[in-house]
Amino acid sequence: MRELILGGTRSGKSSYAEKVALGGGKELLYLATATVEDAEMEQRIIHHQQSRSSAWRVIEEPLHLAEVLQQEARDGRTILVECLTLWLTNLLLQEDETVLQQETELLINVIPDLPGTTLLVGNETGMGVVPADALSRKYCDEAGRLHQRLAAICERVTLVVAGLPQTLKEP
């Protein structure tokens, strides 16, 4: 079972994803894509770490998401990927521009065949104004494309707004 969970900043998407994972009664793996770039991001990461129970095993992987998913996915395990859009940012900032396309294709190809449960969390960025600078526009475009492709192959898609999950697609 694969679920794409989208929402804006502080929408409650992470809390919802963790609640879904904990309710499944399976072994828990938290696959974190964030990297500490500044004090504010460090505080966000610490907040997430402190809010999680000790039931979670954590792997940090900022770039090679598909590879880790292939290695770690198995029946009886739930993997929560937090978060797709930070992973996308990490890929966009690579000097080699082909890394983004390569890693995205690997992820799209791996997702349908993963055993166990995979929860993919991402920021919905396409509901606001068009950004003024080229990198931000590319980020929003790539996030939108990624989310559409994942929504097509995930069994369930949920949008979280103000802490309220709205089911967009279900089996």
**Residue of 54 and 145 predicted with greater confidence:** 145
CATH number of the domain at 68, please.
3.40.50.300
What pTM, to 2 d.p., does this model score? Answer: 0.91
Structural domains of the chain, count: 1
**pLDDT of 124 over the 90 cut:** yes
Residue 41 has pLDDT above 70, yes or no: no
Q: Is 138 exposed, middle or buried (0-12, 13-18, 19+ CB in 10 A)?
A: middle
Residue 55 pLDDT class (50, 70, 90 cuts): confident
Any residues with CB less than 8 A from the CB of 54 and at least 6 apart, and which? none
Structure tokens at 72: 């770690």
Where on the phi/psi map is residue 162: left (φ > 0), alpha (ψ -120 to 50), or beta?
A: left
Q: Which of 47, 48, 64, 147 is catalytic?
A: 48
Interatomic CA distance for residues 151 and 157, integer angstroms: 6
Q: How confident is the model at residue 69 (pLDDT cuts 50, 70, 90)?
A: very high
Between CA 143 and CA 163 the distance in angstroms is 21
Q: Structural domain of residue 95, as residue ranges?
A: 2-169
Task: Judge whether residue 45 has pLDDT over 80.
Answer: no
Q: Which helix (H) or strand (E) holds 154?
A: none
pLDDT of the residue at 9: 87
Per-residue tokens: 68: 């880790």
147 has catalytic annotation: no
